[in-house]
Amino acid sequence: MRVRSDHLTVLLNRLADRGDEQFVIEHPSLDVGELLRIELDRYDSSTVRFVTKGDEYESSRQAVARAHGEAVSKELPSASDFLKTVVASGILDVANQDEIKTFLDRYGDPDLMAGHSPVFAGFDTNLMSWQIDRVLGLHDPDSGVGYVNGFVLATGVRDELDWDYKCHNTDPYVDAFGESYEEFWNQTLGSARLGRLGLLTYRRIRDIEQAVEVQSDRGDAAIIDAYDEYDRENRSDIVLFSNDRNFVEDARAHRMLGQRVDFPGEFPRKTTASWREIERLLYLLAIVFGVIEVPGATVYGVWRGKDELDWQHERVKVDARSPKLEAKLQSDLSIVESYEELSVR
């Protein structure tokens, strides 16, 4: 069944009902196995335990490369992308959170009534997959509050995210990771899925938050030039975010405000998270790893026949491994979906 990311509470609830309040999120491959451990408790404070160290994970990935070839191992995200996925879910902070807060307190939230210029945020490509606007709380489109008044997006960023290579032969992946990879036929592989996540962020900011889109070529220089041109032609201040020092330096050389966003180097042993963050984590892990397992169910980030709307509505495919769980999930989803239809009438 297809489940929207914000409806994954249904799955968590049914796991809790089964007595699986404590469960492990696993990769189907025996080489990788356990990714992390969830202990469902209060809606706003459950526990996430990071049982796999980055270097242990990376050596599993290398073992896959030795046994099945480099190309197959690239289907697994790097340890650093695994970590960034957890940051994107909101469960872990970026590494230089305090520094960014100081930066935003200083340059964000302008007093427009006092004649200050509005502040727009722009991004480098390397942050888009990690939904950085939300992670940093730059702007809340519903309440209209936050550090910035809007966004500027260079089309070069969008073009750099478009690496949509697909799987046309599932055999090597099935051999390496198991049968669930039969679902990957004609679907995006490995890092291409990160590109898709980035594109989704780009489109969400552009369409929902009504960002200004400026034309540019690919490459840092062209992207920074485009932001700079917009900055000069409009009475606004642009703050640019990147994971890359050089990009930030270039932005500053153009007299724009640049801020580096740094990701943590290693998982903590454990942390607390809300159910909403855990749902987000499940969704993002399913996309980034392609497929993950929880007790009684397999969650596919991509599957045979996944379409553009599934991407746009952030849907995953949940296959319950027990008929009893399957029936309960179906029944819950029918209620949730009818409820939403009736509520918007």
Residues of the shown chain interacting with other proteins in the complex, contacts defined by CB under 8 A: 6-7, 9-10, 12-13, 16-17, 40-44, 275, 330-336, 338-339, 342-343, 345
Quick one: 112 or 145, whose CB is closer to other proteins? 145
Quick one: 221 or 327, whose CB is closer to other proteins? 327
* DSSP annotation string for 227-280: HHHHHHHTT-EEEEEES-HHHHHHHHHTT-EEEE----SS--SEEEE-HHHHHH
As measured in angstroms, the least distance from the Cβ of 17 to other proteins is: 7
Residue 154 neighbours by CB under 8 Å, 6+ apart: 122, 213, 214, 215, 216, 222, 223, 226, 227
Quick one: 9 or 272, whose CB is closer to other proteins? 9
Burial of 107 (0-12, 13-18, 19+ CB in 10 A): middle
Quick one: 275 or 289, whose CB is closer to other proteins? 275
As measured in angstroms, the least distance from the Cβ of 119 to other proteins is: 29
Rg of the chain (C-alpha set): 21
Residue 213 neighbours by CB under 8 Å, 6+ apart: 152, 153, 154, 155, 206
As measured in angstroms, the least distance from the Cβ of 13 to other proteins is: 5
As measured in angstroms, the least distance from the Cβ of 333 to other proteins is: 8
Angle between helices 275-289 and 79-88 (to 10 degrees): 150
Q: Residue 185 has what DSSP assignment?
A: T
Residue 150 identity (one-letter amino acid): G
CA dist 217 and 227 (Å) reads 12
As measured in angstroms, the least distance from the Cβ of 331 to other proteins is: 4
As measured in angstroms, the least distance from the Cβ of 14 to other proteins is: 9
Quick one: 182 or 340, whose CB is closer to other proteins? 340
CA dist 35 and 37 (Å) reads 7
Quick one: 137 or 219, whose CB is closer to other proteins? 137
Quick one: 95 or 336, whose CB is closer to other proteins? 336
Quick one: 48 or 128, whose CB is closer to other proteins? 48
As measured in angstroms, the least distance from the Cβ of 285 to other proteins is: 19
CA dist 72 and 281 (Å) reads 24
What are all long-range contacts of 241-248, with beta carbons under 8 Å and residues at least 24 apart? 241/121, 241/122, 241/123, 241/124, 241/127, 241/132, 241/136, 242/123, 242/124, 242/126, 242/127, 243/124, 243/126, 243/127, 244/124, 244/126, 244/220, 246/220, 247/124, 247/126, 247/220
As measured in angstroms, the least distance from the Cβ of 324 to other proteins is: 12
As measured in angstroms, the least distance from the Cβ of 275 to other proteins is: 4
Quick one: 8 or 25, whose CB is closer to other proteins? 8
